Amino acid sequence: MTIHIYQAQLLHYLTEENLAARAKHTHVETADLTNDSLTNAERPSITVVDKNVTLLPVVAGVKVYPEYIANGALVVDDATGRVVDYGSCASMMSQYGNASRQEGQAPVQIHDCQDQLIMPGFIDTHVHYPQIDMIAAFGEQLLDWLNNYTFVTEANFGDTKIADDTAKFFLNQLLANGTTSALVFSTSHPQSVESFFNESCRLNTRMITGNVLMDQNAPEHLCVPTEQGIRDTQNIIDKWHERGRQHVAITPRFAITSTPKQLQMTGELYRSYDSVYLQTHLAENLDEIAFVRELYPNHKGYLDVYHDMGLLGRYTTLAHGIHLSTSEYEVLRDTGTQIAHCPTSNLFLGSGLFDLSKTLSYTGVSIATDVGAGTSLSMLTTLSEAYKVQQLQSNPLSAHQGLYQITLGNAQSLLLDDKIGNFMPNKEADFVVIDMGGTDLMERRMTQTKSLDEQLFVLMMLGDDRVIEETIIAGVSRYKKAVAG
């Protein structure tokens, strides 16, 4: 057991409940960070919470604020994998540094990251790990893209070696991009899930996945008979759900590739558990919506199919949700069902423009990469594209809103905010060390910024895997950027 003290700039997001808990044993100052042009050395080392920043919450009625500490320190226990404390560097060193240690206490290791920014690990709420090998496939919209590229690639995942190799590569790529947790699609092969969870267990990452359920309108070798697919899911739940840091999601691909019987059985299975997730797709593409109407003519619309089959609820995440009616938004609100916004995918496939603020006014929204239609595993790159999608609708996305969403906000959407998402003591120590000048262009641009908000916006617009210096999982370093030269 070793206590690790990471000296760095700290940024994360707190609820009012978090703030109240912190105020009991630390000094918290509220301030306007937007006009701060001081150097790190000149900035106060006390905790600064900016209540002037207005964030749209993922959980209705829960106010969220950024907390920034210019000269901060994060204290982590690598034996428990949890955050011990955080605050000003001076305070943390006084309480936990070697000079304060008594004989027989755990050793302390100091990590000097004072020129870097530490944030909670990024969380991706919709991504297909088997599709990493067909990312950037040219020229199709959704349905043709699935038939011509996706199903061809996914057919290989009954092969253990391919599944193992791809899961390892994919998870290492997540870490290289600062992503520490994800809600992931596997394939219809149970082996694809086994390979993924085996590697995630080895890395000790908190991950969610499940076998894809399809029994129609897909290649025969990818379709699994209705009852067998459900049995496969049941077996995976029995073996993997809440085993260590792993969770299972029941995963019908979408209404088009499932018969009514499969969707009904999926709903029955979902309702039999309190904490098993469900993930699928919704209203991504106009042709997709029209096809669902043909298949389910007696339903009021796409979402009504899922609602009627019992697939909606607080543990359900529906990817996309671009083309929705007011009544569908109201159903999302009334059931607590979450939407995952996938900007790079929506742009790549020409699916449409997602209205973030409108959807957040009804229900929780997370932000996700959706690789392989998505074109990057970087959540920062994804935020850059999310900004452009909102800008086209005259609703610009602030850096604080974006960074909140890919950390605490996505954790809230997945009901994991009691475990991950910020630096509150006793949460799991998943975090990322960021070089704000990680490219020559960013380094030059940062010299022209006059406030933290400006710096964070540059990070959001220009940052990618090149700014990720290190990714820590449960207190253990799992990725370090290679030193050039």
- Contact present, 394 and 367 (Cβ < 8 Å): no
Clarify whether residues 372 and 231 are in a common domain: yes
Closest C-alpha among 236, 333, 341 to residue 281: 341
Residues ≥6 apart with Cβ < 8 Å to 207: 171, 181, 182, 184, 196, 197, 200, 245, 246, 247
Lowest average pLDDT, out of 100-109, 234-243, 429-438, 447-456, goes to: 100-109
- Contact present, 279 and 183 (Cβ < 8 Å): yes
Q: CA-CA distance, 399 to 69, in Å (whole number)?
A: 17
149: domain CATH number is 3.20.20.140
Indicate the number of domains in the chain.
2
Q: Which of 413, 439, 467 is the last residue of a domain?
A: 413
Clarify whether residues 240 and 100 are in a common domain: no
Q: How far is CA 209 from CA 183, 184, 368, in A?
A: 6, 5, 15
Confidence class for position 1, pLDDT limits 50, 70, 90? confident
Q: CA-CA distance, 74 to 433, in Å (whole number)?
A: 11
Q: Which of 378, 413, 448 is the last residue of a domain?
A: 413
Tokens 């996309």 belong to: 320
Q: The tokens of 388 are what?
A: 């452009």
54: domain CATH number is 2.30.40.10
Task: Report pLDDT for 100.
Answer: 63
Clarify whether residues 91 and 202 are in a common domain: no
Q: Is residue 380 part of a domain?
A: yes
Crossing angle of helices 226-240 and 260-271, in 10° steps, is 20
Clarify whether residues 235 and 326 are in a common domain: yes
In tens, the pLDDT along 17-30 reads: 999 998 876 655 55
Task: Report pLDDT for 43.
Answer: 45
Please say if the pLDDT value at position 11 is more than 70: yes
Please say if the pLDDT value at position 36 is more than 70: no
Q: CA-CA distance, 73 to 76, in Å (whole number)?
A: 10
Clarify whether residues 62 and 198 are in a common domain: no
Task: Report pLDDT for 441.
Answer: 98
Q: Is residue 41 part of a domain?
A: yes
Q: Which of 390, 413, 436 is the last residue of a domain?
A: 413
Please say if the pLDDT value at position 268 is more than 70: yes
pTM: 0.95
Q: Is residue 418 part of a domain?
A: no
Type of residue at 283: A
Please say if the pLDDT value at position 270 is more than 60: yes
Q: Which residues of 105-123 are buried (b: 16+ CB within 10 A; e: fewer)?
A: eeebeebebbebbbbbbbb
Please say if the pLDDT value at position 99 is more than 80: no
Whether the bond into 372 is cis, omega within 30 of 0: yes
Clarify whether residues 140 and 229 are in a common domain: yes
Clarify whether residues 111 and 243 are in a common domain: no
- Contact present, 126 and 368 (Cβ < 8 Å): yes
Lowest average pLDDT, out of 99-113, 130-144, 364-378, goes to: 99-113
Clarify whether residues 364 and 434 are in a common domain: no
Does 44 or 122 have the greater pLDDT score?
Answer: 122
Please say if the pLDDT value at position 173 is more than 50: yes
3-state helix, strand, coil in the chain (%, to 5): 40, 25, 35
Q: How far is CA 99 from CA 88, 102, 110, 145, 397, in A?
A: 17, 8, 12, 61, 45
Q: Which residues of 295-327 are buried (b: 16+ CB within 10 A; e: fewer)?
A: bbeebebbbbbbbbbbbbeebbbbbbbbbbeee
Burial class of residue 401 in the structure, from the number of CB atoms within 10 Å of its CB (0-12 exposed, 13-18 middle, 19+ buried): buried
Q: Is residue 94 part of a domain?
A: yes
What is the arithmetic mean of pLDDT over 432-457? 97
Q: Tell me which DSSP letter residue 361 carries.
A: T
Confidence class for position 143, pLDDT limits 50, 70, 90? confident
Q: Is residue 485 part of a domain?
A: no
Clarify whether residues 15 and 56 are in a common domain: yes
By DSSP bridging, strand 82-88 and strand 64-77 are antiparallel
Sign of CA dihedral 404, 77, 463, 207: negative
Task: Report pLDDT for 65.
Answer: 96
What is the arithmetic mean of pLDDT over 366-377? 97
Q: CA-CA distance, 213 to 247, in Å (whole number)?
A: 17
Does 39 or 406 have the greater pLDDT score?
Answer: 406
Q: Is residue 198 part of a domain?
A: yes
Clarify whether residues 135 and 166 are in a common domain: yes
- Contact present, 197 and 207 (Cβ < 8 Å): yes
Burial class of residue 233 in the structure, from the number of CB atoms within 10 Å of its CB (0-12 exposed, 13-18 middle, 19+ buried): buried
In tens, the pLDDT along 458-471 reads: 999 999 999 999 99
What's the whole-number average pLDDT of the chain? 94
Clarify whether residues 203 and 145 are in a common domain: yes
Q: Is residue 291 part of a domain?
A: yes
Q: The tokens of 425 are what?
A: 């003591």
Q: Is residue 137 part of a domain?
A: yes
Clarify whether residues 20 and 139 are in a common domain: no
Residue 266 lies in domain: 122-413
